[in-house]
Amino acid sequence: MDLISKIFTGIFLVTTMASIGLKVTTGELISAMRDRSLMKRSLVVNLIIVPFLGLLLVNIVPMSHEAKVGILLLAVSPGGLNAIQFTSKTKDSLCYAASLLFILTLLSVLLSPVIASFMLSADTSFTLHYGRVIKFLFLFILLPLLAGLGVHYISKKYAHILSKPIALIGTVFFVVVVIRMLAQRKQAMAALSKTELATMIVFIILTMIIGWLFGGPSIETRRVLATSTSMRNAALCFVIATNGFPDTNVILVVVAFSGLMIFPNMLLTVYEIIKERRSPAN
C-alpha cells in the first residue's frame, strides 16, 4: 500500500470510529462487551472454527504451497479493519461492532503469529513489531472511539450533529482507498489460478454463513458477525507474509483476498439496509 492510501485508510478508520463514539454511550459499549454468550460465540468462530475451516480447505483443494500458506494466514487472523465500514451501518449493534473489532484485532495481533507458526510448521518464525501495532490500534481505533464518546457525554446535541458528516467522510475515504487499490488487487488475482481464487471465494462465503449462524438471534448481530468473520485481517497477514515469506506469492494471495472479501460483504450490507427500509415497521 502506497503512502497516500495509508493516509486515506487512517482517515477512514479515525472518522468511522469517532462517528461510532458519537452515536453511542459508554454504558452501551460496556453492556455490549458484557454479553458473554455473544462474545464467546464470536471468539469461538473467529479463533477456532474459521482456522480449522481454512486448514480443511487447503488440504482438500489442490493448490500451490504459497496459496495454502496465504489462506492459512488469513484463516488465523481475525479483526479485519475494513469490516467496520459495513458493520457501522447497523442501528442497534454499533456497540457490538466496535467492541468486536477492537477485541478481534487485539487478539489477532497477540495470537495469530503463534497459531500460524503452529499450523504451518514448527520451524517457521515471524517477526512482528508488537509495539507499533498496539500503538496503531490505540491511535486509529481506541482513541477516536473515546473522543467520540467524550463528545457524546458532554453534548448529545453536538454529537448528533457531527456523527453523520463524520461517518460520511469515513465512507468517502473508504471508497477512495478501494478504488486506489483496485489495480494492485487485479494484478494479484491474475497471478493466482482459478482454483485458488475459487477456494478463497468459497472460504469467504462459508465464513459469512458461519458468522451469520452464530450471531443470532438478532439480525443485526448476525450481520455484524458475518462480516467481521469473513473480513480477515489482511493488513496483519501482509506484515507476517512480508517478514516470514519474502519474495513469494504468499503476499499476492493476501492482496487478492483483501479485494475479494469486500464485494460479498458490500452486497450483504446493501441488501440488509434495503430490506430494513422496506420493513413495515419503518
What Cα–Cα distance (Å) separates residue 270 from each residue in 86, 120, 142? 9, 37, 27
Calpha distance 77→16 (Å, rounded): 22
Judge contact between 113 and 128, C-beta under 8 A. yes
Q: Domain 3-278, what fold?
A: Na+/H+ antiporter like fold (1.20.1530)
Which sequence spans correspond to the domains of the chain? Answer: 3-278
| Nearest one of 269, 267, 256 to 74, comparing CA atoms | 256
Task: Determine the 3-state secondary structure of 61 from DSSP.
Answer: coil
pLDDT the model gives residue 128: 59
pLDDT in tens, 54-99: 999 999 999 999 999 999 999 999 988 888 888 887 777 888 988 8
Lowest mean pLDDT among 9-18, 34-43, 45-54, 123-132: 123-132
Judge contact between 144 and 21, C-beta under 8 A. yes
pLDDT the model gives residue 43: 95
Calpha distance 282→132 (Å, rounded): 45
Calpha distance 70→240 (Å, rounded): 10
Across 151-180, average pLDDT = 90
Q: How many CB atoms lie within 10 A of CB 158?
A: 12
Average pLDDT, the chain: 86
State the cell numbers at 114.
503463534
Judge contact between 224 and 53, C-beta under 8 A. no
pLDDT the model gives residue 116: 76
pLDDT in tens, 181-225: 777 788 888 889 999 999 999 999 999 999 999 998 888 999 999
110 Cβ neighbours under 8 A, 6+ residues apart: 130
pLDDT in tens, 265-275: 999 988 888 88
Alpha helices by DSSP H, the chain: 3-23, 26-33, 36-44, 50-60, 65-75, 83-87, 94-120, 130-137, 143-154, 156-190, 194-214, 219-230, 234-244, 250-260, 262-278
Judge contact between 221 and 93, C-beta under 8 A. yes
Calpha distance 104→47 (Å, rounded): 9
Calpha distance 194→37 (Å, rounded): 39
pTM above 0.75, yes or no: yes
| Nearest one of 14, 153, 33, 23 to 84, comparing CA atoms | 14
pLDDT in tens, 227-259: 999 999 988 888 788 777 777 888 899 989 988
- Rounded to a whole number, what is the distance in angstroms from the first to the last CA of the chain? 41
What Cα–Cα distance (Å) separates residue 278 from each residue in 49, 92, 275, 282? 34, 17, 5, 7
The conformation of residue 217, written as its DSSP 8-state character, comes to S
| Nearest one of 68, 121, 101, 116 to 254, comparing CA atoms | 68
What Cα–Cα distance (Å) separates residue 263 from each residue in 93, 205, 227? 22, 11, 11
pLDDT the model gives residue 122: 47
User: Which band of pLDDT confidence, cut at 50, 70 and 90, is reported for residue 125?
Assistant: low
